Amino acid sequence: MDRNLPKRFWEVDFLRGIAIIMMVLYHLIYNLSYFGAYNIKANSGFWLYFARTTATIFIFLVGVSLTLSFSKAMKKFKNEKELFLKYLQRGLKIFSWGLIITLVTWVFLREGYVVFGILHLIGISI
Neighbours of 84 (CB within 10 A): 11
3-state secondary structure of 78: coil
- Structural contact between residues 18 and 54, judged by C-beta atoms closer than 8 angstroms: no
The series of mean pLDDT values per 10 residues for the chain, 126 residues long, is 69 95 95 87 92 95 92 84 91 97 91 90 93
CA-based nearest residue to 91, from 53, 63, 122, 116: 122
With 0-12 / 13-18 / 19 or more C-beta atoms within 10 angstroms meaning exposed / middle / buried, residue 30 is: middle
- Report CA-CA distances (Å) from 73 to 6, 65, 70: 12, 12, 5
- Write down the pLDDT at residue 5: 57
